[in-house]
Amino acid sequence: MDGTTLGLRLRDVTLEVGDGAGKVRAMDAVDLDVAPGELVAVVGPSGAGKSSLLAVAGALATPTSGDVQVLGEDLGAMRRRGQGALAEFRRSRLGFVFQSGNLVPALTAADQLRLAYRIAGRPGARSFDPLPLLDAVGMSHRADHRPGELSGGERQRVGIARALVNDPGLLLVDEPTAALDRARSHEVVELLAARCHERGIAVVMVTHDHDVLTHCDRVVEMIDGRLAQVPDVQ
């Protein structure tokens, strides 16, 4: 990827969901650029279209119109090559972090990462060592713990490490602090920002938590499907 390739580029993206009288414009003429190594927060009221934006950027939803480029790849063109191409792109180039970690209950922290590595189709799955990544999120001492034996903040940190196993170019993060207290929320978003800046990952983070915006490079607000920059929210 050259220096000018954006992590995410949305142009005039509209997404209509539902049918007939229930049809809703979840995204309305949205433009957004996210550079490599930039953490952009998306705020806005419930139902504004924030999750829809993540779904479109993550190739999980097809926009009604407009252009979506991820890491220089046109998702529309990729979709025309087939769902297999999109799924492969998602597995190999994108990372997702969900509310409360979304971990597999039966697996240890280390095995969560091993499984993700295998699913991502990375080479040498047998010899993959999850410890450096767990260490990077301050969790190597909990490598053998299952999610039920971890705190909310610890689960979220494992979720972040898991999202990084495929070395994603674009990380999509949905309400990472929803289950956390204030101190843990800061810790988790600080960690995301550090990883984003160190590794040059473009990050889009949906949040209701205005406390953590100070760690973000830029904040945009969605209202009724439309996106606006938020000046000086920090």
Ligand X SMILES: Nc1ncnc2c1ncn2[C@@H]1O[C@H](COP(=O)(O)OP(=O)(O)OP(=O)(O)O)[C@@H](O)[C@H]1O
Q: Which residues bind ligand X (CB under 6 A)?
A: 17-18, 22, 24, 26, 44, 46-52
Q: Looking at beta carbons only, is 46 or 127 nearer to ligand X?
A: 46
Q: Looking at beta carbons only, is 33 or 221 nearer to ligand X?
A: 221
Alpha helical stretches, state H, the chain: 50-57, 75-81, 83-93, 109-119, 131-136, 152-163, 182-199
Minimum CB–partner distance for residue 16 and ligand X (Å): 9
Q: Looking at beta carbons only, is 4 or 46 nearer to ligand X?
A: 46
Minimum CB–partner distance for residue 24 and ligand X (Å): 4
Q: How far is CA 49 from CA 14, 94, 131, 171, in A?
A: 10, 20, 37, 18
Minimum CB–partner distance for residue 111 and ligand X (Å): 30
Q: Looking at beta carbons only, is 164 or 180 nearer to ligand X?
A: 180
Phi-psi label, residue 113: left if phi above 0, alpha if psi -120 to 50, beta otherwise:
alpha
Pair 136, 195: CB distance under 8 Å: yes
3-state secondary structure at position 12: strand
Q: At what angle do helices 152-163 and 182-199 cross, to 10 degrees?
A: 10
Minimum CB–partner distance for residue 54 and ligand X (Å): 8
